[in-house]
Amino acid sequence: MIFNRRDFLKAMGAATASGALYGCAGGTRAGGHVVVVGGGFGGATAAKYLRKWSEGGVQVTLIERDAQFVSCPISNLILSGDKTLADVTVGYEGLKKWGVRVIHDDVTGIDAAKRTLRLARGGELSYDRLVLSPGVDFVYDQIPGLASPAAQGQILHAWKAGPQTVALGKQLADMKDGGVFAITIPKAPYRCPPGPYERASVVAGYFKAKKPKSKVLVLDANAEIISKKGLFTKAWSELYKDIIDYRPNSELRDVDVAGRSAVLEFDTVKADVLNVIPPQRAGAIAVRSGLKLINQRWVDIDWRSMEATGTPGIHVLGDATFSAPGMPKSGHMANQHAKLAAAAILNLLAGQPPNPEPLVMNTCYSFIDSQNAIHVASVHRYDADKKTLVPVDGAGGVSTARNELEFRYALGWAQNIWADMLT
Amino acid sequence: MKLPHLVAALCLAVTAGGVAAQDPNLARNLAATCANCHGTDGKAAAGAGMEALAGADKEKLLQKIREFKSGVRPATIMQQIAKGYTDAQLELIASYFAAQR
């Protein structure tokens, strides 16, 4: 059956009206319309679980600008030629089978008071609750040389997996043996704390096998490796001693695009392939919607419901949030945020309070080369006194050593989390 | 304010006065934290090499997780994750997966 927007909105109105009949007693069912903006690890998971856990009682619309989901985790293996973009791409058909209405469009504005939002191609949607999972946007203010889209097209970030990942892989493949690959890392927090060190490792592994005279230069704005430090340090000294040159406290000040050079405070470093991971903040739609930000970058939320502080009805997930203590900005974490939010939203729509003791956990695998991986894991529980999620004492940790079993686990993790969010 | 929101606000106001009750979906919510690696409702993707938990024998599963938690059973990661959950939470999780078909 073809369901046009008018029919859909009419059905929404009926669902909302019937929702009003639900009271506070147990056994109430959630109804209403939830709009999810952003179909990544957070948003796609939220859309699926809202449908699944409400047994179809809640109508869900997902607005996503891209035609397909492309995973950042695993995508560094594209740079070494071990994986292709197709290997890390999943479509949205599975969500449609859950009854999620998927609209490929951009959101231009949100009216939090009226609970409506506008779409770029025209039209307005109303919602009972809104889930924003906009990911990160790059902040180029402090890198004048990368202000123009043309410059950004030459000096790549490849920090949102997609065409840039493939293009960076091609730059590396085209680089002569004996060349220098330089990667710049912004000050934390940024998306995927171990990701830059994984990329340096994987590219070094590729050089070792294919272009042994080449170097990897890691220009880190941070004072030290900020994730899995011991494991990366050991791997680099044992495997890549003559390849990786790690320089802490090396914040990028500017880029000379024509000279492929990174301008630091006291030094200018020339590279054959320059990869700039820019500073980041919450996706633009979260910033434009007037949500309360911390450090002018990340959205302040209530961790019992992921609801934005001071803006009822809008729940924010994933990298865009001001992270709780010890919590990384990861796809795994965004998936867990989404389930926390979905459970809270269904309670709220049924007239119940959110779960007072939510718990989430994180697992991040990182590749060291084409055979070995390492992990970091943590579990976070809600602390009512501190009003935030805190790491559970004694839980979590990292691998004892890099190993081949966890390389396979990393790929198995990817298969399962992609299915958990999209099928 | 729309009526459903008003109802929700009233319900919240009533509950806020007393001790917070356990969420009726706590087992479901806790088990969902395992899905990233073990599949939605413990139904792991075929060929991904991860243990499927759906339909597991409750006592055997619980025993295994307790051994991860105590460190008796060797693992790469589960010994670190299991320590993040209380025994009562692990019991809820095991019951939930055992009930999945």
Tokens of A325: 């203590």
State the pLDDT at residue A29.
82
User: What integer pLDDT is reported at residue A309 of this predicted model?
Assistant: 97
pLDDT bracket for residue A81 (50, 70, 90): very high
Instruction: Give the residue-averaged pLDDT of A176-199.
Output: 98
Kind plus residue range of the DSSP H or E element containing A268:
strand A268-270
Q: Regarding the domain with residue range B24-98, which homologous superfamily does it belong to in the CATH classification?
A: Cytochrome c-like domain (1.10.760.10)
Spans of chain B, pLDDT less than 50:
1-4, 6-18
Q: How confident is the model at residue A15 (pLDDT cuts 50, 70, 90)?
A: very low
Question: What would the pLDDT profile of A278-327 be if each residue is shown by its tens digit?
Answer: 999 999 999 999 999 999 999 999 999 999 999 999 999 999 999 999 99
pLDDT value at A20 more than 70 = no
Q: Which parts of chain B are beta strand (E)?
A: none
DSSP line for B47-75: TS-----TT--HHHHHHHHHHHHHT-S--
Whether the per-residue pLDDT at A17 is higher than 50: the answer is no
Pairing, β A180-185 against β A215-220: parallel
Sorted by sequence, the CB contacts under 8 Å of residue B81 that are 6+ apart come out as A361, A363, A377, A379, A395, A396, B68
- What CATH number does the domain located at A141-278 have? 3.50.50.60
Measured between beta carbons, which residues in chain B are less than 8 angstroms from residue A419? 39-40, 45
Residue B48 to residue A339, Cβ atoms within 8 A: no
Distance from CA of B7 to the nearest CA of A (A): 6
Identity of residue A156: L
Q: Tens of pLDDT along A146-162?
A: 999 999 999 999 999 99
Residues of B in contact with A377 (CB under 8 A): 77, 80-81
Among A251, A46, A38, A253, smallest CA distance to A160 is for: A38
Q: pLDDT band for position A27 (50/70/90)?
A: low
**What is the pLDDT at residue A300?**
98
Q: How far apart are CA A82 and CA A104, in angstroms?
A: 30
Question: What 3-state DSSP class applies to A276?
Answer: strand
Tell me what the mean pLDDT of segment A50-77 comes to.
98
Percent helix / strand / coil, chain B, rounded to 5: 55, 0, 45
Name residues whose C-beta falls within 8 Å of residue A51's C-beta, 6 or more positions apart in sequence.
A58, A60, A98, A99, A100
Q: Per-residue pLDDT tens for A386-395?
A: 999 999 999 9
Kindly list the domain boundaries of chain A, sorted by start residue. Answer: 5-137+281-354, 141-278
CA distance B38 to chain A (A): 7
- Size of the A and B interface in Cβ pairs below 8 Å: 157
In angstroms, the separation between the Cα of residue A243 and the nearest Cα of chain B is 29
pLDDT in tens, A93-129: 999 999 999 999 999 999 999 999 999 999 999 999 9
Whether pLDDT at A185 is above 70: yes
Q: Do B77 and A128 touch (CB under 8 A)?
A: no
The residue ranges of every structural domain in chain B are: 24-98
The CATH code for residues A5-137+281-354 is 3.50.50.60
The mean per-residue pLDDT over the stretch A219-237 comes to: 98
